[in-house]
Chains A and B, each alone.
Chain A
Amino acid sequence: MEEQSQDDGVSRRGFLLTSAAAAALAATAENPRPAAAAATAAPAEVVEVALEVNGKARTLALDPRVTLLDALRERLDLTGTKKGCDRGQCGACTVHVDGRRVLSCLTLAAGLGGKAVTTVEGLAEGDRLHPVQRAFVACDGLQCGFCTPGQVMSAVALIEEGHAGSEAEIREYMSGNICRCGAYQQIVQAVRMAKEEA
């Protein structure tokens, strides 16, 4: 019998997040989160971020640990962007920052001052769906729908990037978005259809 201690007081991710945030605040980073100081330090740990989300200017007062994904979901009630893994491994959280696709679970909100964020909620114009959204509906590019916001955001970006040339190219560039339901062939059809329209 052996005594063993679960001493992962700072998980790798926790470390990365807190240290990145601390660096951003130009605060001391040698001990990213001293436990004893946490309670007292908590009220001071707020950063203000002014950014644009789906065309609207927003100013957020945030805990620096907040990821873009959690800022959208928990602070702005934009829950269309999904958390599939929170580790950059599934693509469900894909959004656009200044027109480029990023994984919002790996992006700290505090670093996005002055940037423009587009989420799946920001694609349609009123009742009129974006051509990619229309194509996903028409081609049945979804089943459970949980990966769909990320797939749609990736599809919009890859068409704009000029990476929707062939089926093989679409498959390659859509491979950062896992679909456990296996709607891949319908997703490829949707990307092709949307590209024709674009």
Chain B
Amino acid sequence: MARPSMDRIDARAKVTGAARYSADHKLPGMVHGHLVTSTIARGRVVSMDLDAARAAGGVVEIYTPDHRPAFQGALTGLAAVFAETRPPLADREVHYHGQIVALVLAETVEQARDAAALIRVTYEAQPPNSSFEDAKEHAVSPPSVPGLPLGVPIKEPENVDIKAALAASEVTIERTYEIPPRHHSMMEPHAAVAVWQDGRLTIYSGTQGPAAHAMELSGVLGVEQADVHVISPYVGGGFGGKAFTWAPAMLAAAAARELGRPVKVVTGREQLFTVTGHRAASSQTFALGARRDGRLNAIEHATISQSLGEDPGYRTTPKYYAAPNVHISMKITPGLDLPTATIMRAPGDESGSFALECVMDELAEELGMDPIELRMRNYLESTLKGKLPYSSKHLDECYRVGAERFGWSRRGERPGAVTDGEWQVGMGMATAVLDAGRAPTTVRVAFRPNGTATVGNATSDAGTGMWTVMAMTGARALGLPADRIRPALGDSALPFAGSSDIYGAVGSAATATVTPAILTAAREAIAKLAEHAATAEGSPLRGADDVRYAEGRLTGGGKAVTFGELLTLTGTAEVGAQGTSADLDTTHAYASYAAHFCEVRVNRWTGEPLLSRFTTVVDAGAILNAKTARGQITGGVLFGLAAAMCEEGRVEGATGRISNANLADYLLPVNADTVEFDVHFLDHPDTRLSPTGARGIGELGTVGAAAAFANAVHNATGRRVRTLPITPDKLLA
């Protein structure tokens, strides 16, 4: 069966520069904002000398902790857990290096920037508590957050004595894995253009969830949610970093209200590292107990991190392997003088899968067993807790097909066995499991006189391909070519169902959420259209009792008319309906799977590890657009590999400063660091999840990729690096 594949419908706008992202908006009378951030990590602002800045040309206003635009409330909903709850410029206290201490507003970008540089701040500095390393020793159990399962210990069975179970196992290993802080580093910095009219805010601000962004801003600004209009059709990357509302958007909105002029705030690249969220460092210890034949008897997984937002234990361990005794726990290090931790692509799943898939590799070596064989011996058929069956699981096929495509049988069983001149060649594999789900959502489908149909939902497309998937699904549901579908997204005024889908494109659930609702809404819209044809004045089918719709045409009473003609004849701007998808069937558990295979070449003399091949086989239900799905997987894999290859936020313990907060020193993979990935999709539609059968893929590639790399490095060199990233110094030491 040929898989559907279509060019992105937003591609043309993006390759010509016509696509307008937030900072590309310019409004009459607009002023430009520039942020000033703290140069200490802990203490207070004693005084600020603003004279020079005030005197500089073009400066309109300077906001500081002593003179700030009004905020009426705090972030609500999930943002209260996953974003910075303290409003910007709240007071003179400084809690991390790079905290906003002033906002300069001026007529031009240059004036704002240079005036900001003229502000002199005097601080009363205290030694910061910014070292996660030091804080680990004093980690505490996290407070429980109502409605959130994160950070809550998981025990199976409830009265498990994990130490006894480990002690009773034939083979045990215990290993600790460390991951440094990481930053989303989406190419588009957070930016917002805000304008008020008659007490209503319109804000161009890139977000993964326009409706949630409107809700959060309304809370902070003390206005009704309906009075905040978020417009965000193009988002220059999100990866979780634009799931919630951050200070730059709040300040733009509040300053615009105060000044009565449109305000643009664009975050500087180094400021992004501190004034928006990041992935906190984590330390994970796994203890595994197994029988000699590879069957797991006990899994203990203990994590320490800055916050509970990315609990790797909860997100990972119950989803991979069967074991009769499991104990998962988490501790956090509150009160660190560090920027706010939030979620990042595959939160918890990425870090958890790194540790789990490495420790499984270590156990396989200990047992002298093939790593795939070890995984198959512990294959999970139903959920650890509650024993729910999986809706559609073909992970075994992923392993089989992947091993074959990759040539896994050529892997040297003994580490360091395969060399090619000065290069040591190694192969590693890892599993990826990502919970799949969907929320009921509401979509509006409407027919228009020009022969096109709109399909709208308050979701977003930060590169995921949602524009195109909506057009393709709308086309399928209405029997029209996709170029006659006009998708609408990235706008808080578009429909959504409520609290469960308000966050838009998060958790890799957008496709699974939105597409079934398109089918429902299309059915409703077709019914409305048929009724219109039978009853509306001017309709050639008026009075017919057998009106039918197919492929854009209505027939009835022996006559036929296209919907475009019909609406033109009846003088109707549009006929449409909203439809809400059904609730999820909770008798099953849902997840997407992949098996990753990685080959690396490590230079014997320099220790440089180079990625040389990567195969991934994906079981993610139906693939609705092979073209964009492939990009999601290849991009996701590289995002995960980056953790192993190069990414690392470096916090200076003594000052709390991130010493590499720029794109030259915070290393991201570039084109020359990568190879062509071999991606293969299994096609097993998950029709229990939804009628379109599609599960999420946005984060799947990211999960497990770093472990596949680390395992390959070990196979190449015999060296096991448990602290990311895997840099040459660690391989030479």
Contacts and interface: CB of A to CB of B under 8 A. Distances in A.
Given A4-B40, A185-B676, A143 B188 contact: no
Interface in B101-152: 108-111, 113-114, 117-126
Contacts of B200: none
Contacts of B43: 1, 4
Given A9-B118, A147-B187, A183-B631, A1 B126 contact: yes
A143 B14 CA distance: 9
Interface string B449-470: 0000000000000111100000
Interface in B642-698: 662-664, 668-677
Nearest to B8: A140
B676 A89 contact: no
Interface in A112-152: 119-121, 123-124, 129, 133, 136-138, 140, 142-149, 152
A57 interface: no
Interface of B: 7-8, 10-21, 23-24, 26, 38-40, 43, 46, 51-53, 55-58, 108-111, 113-114, 117-126, 184-189, 234-239, 266, 268-269, 462-465, 627-628, 630-632, 634-639, 662-664, 668-677
A128 to B, nearest CB: 11
Given A84-B188, A87-B269, A146-B237, A121 B17 contact: yes
Main secondary structure of the interface of A (DSSP, over half): loop
B169 to A, nearest CB: 40
A181 B463 contact: yes
A135 to B, nearest CB: 9
15 contacts: A5-B123, A6-B120, A35-B55, A38-B114, A74-B108, A81-B17, A83-B23, A85-B662, A85-B663, A138-B7, A142-B11, A142-B14, A142-B463, A144-B236, A178-B663
A70 B631 CA distance: 31
Contacts of A119: 17
Nearest to A8: B117
7 nearest CB pairs, A to B: A80-B17, A42-B57, A146-B236, A143-B463, A145-B14, A35-B52, A144-B463
Nearest to B633: A182
Nearest to B109: A70
A175 interface: yes
A171 B674 CA distance: 8
B635 A181 contact: yes
Nearest to A178: B668
Nearest to B15: A133
Contacts of B53: 35
B117 A3 contact: no
Nearest to A11: B117
Contacts of A187: 671
Contacts of B119: 6
Interface in A46-95: 63, 65-66, 70, 73-74, 77-87, 89-90, 92
Nearest to B17: A80
A36 interface: yes
Interface in A137-178: 137-138, 140, 142-149, 152, 167-168, 170-172, 174-178
Nearest to A75: B108
A175 B672 contact: yes
A185 B634 contact: yes
Given A143-B635, A185-B676, A175 B7 contact: no
B125 A89 contact: no
Contact of A77 (B10, B26, B114): B26
B10 A145 contact: yes
B56 A35 contact: yes
* Most chain A beta carbons < 10 A, residue from B110, B123, B268: B110
Nearest to B665: A89
B625 to A, nearest CB: 10
Nearest to A154: B671
A39 B57 contact: yes
A14 interface: yes
Contacts of B56: 35, 38-39, 42
A154 to B, nearest CB: 10
A142 B518 CA distance: 25
Nearest to A186: B631
Contacts of B11: 136-137, 140, 142, 145
A102 interface: no
Contact of B8 (A10, A142, A175, A184): A142
Given A144-B235, A148-B15, 17 more contacts: A3-B122, A6-B120, A7-B120, A8-B117, A9-B117, A9-B118, A35-B55, A42-B56, A74-B108, A79-B21, A79-B26, A85-B269, A85-B663, A144-B237, A178-B187, A180-B186, A182-B634
A170 B675 CA distance: 12
Given A84-B187, A142-B8, A142-B11, A129 B638 contact: no
Contacts of A11: 117
Contacts of B674: 171, 182, 184-185
A22 B320 CA distance: 63
Given A3-B46, A143-B464, A79 B8 contact: no
Q: Which has the most chain B C-beta neighbours within 10 Å: A11, A79, A145, A147?
A: A145
A137 B18 contact: no
Nearest to A144: B463
A96 B698 CA distance: 34
A81 B117 CA distance: 25
A144 B52 contact: no
A85 to B, nearest CB: 4
A5 B121 contact: yes
Interface in A12-38: 14, 18, 33, 35-36, 38
Contact of A87 (B8, B239, B664): B664
Given A83-B23, A143-B631, A14 B117 contact: yes
A36 B124 contact: no
Contact of A146 (B40, B186, B675, B677): B186
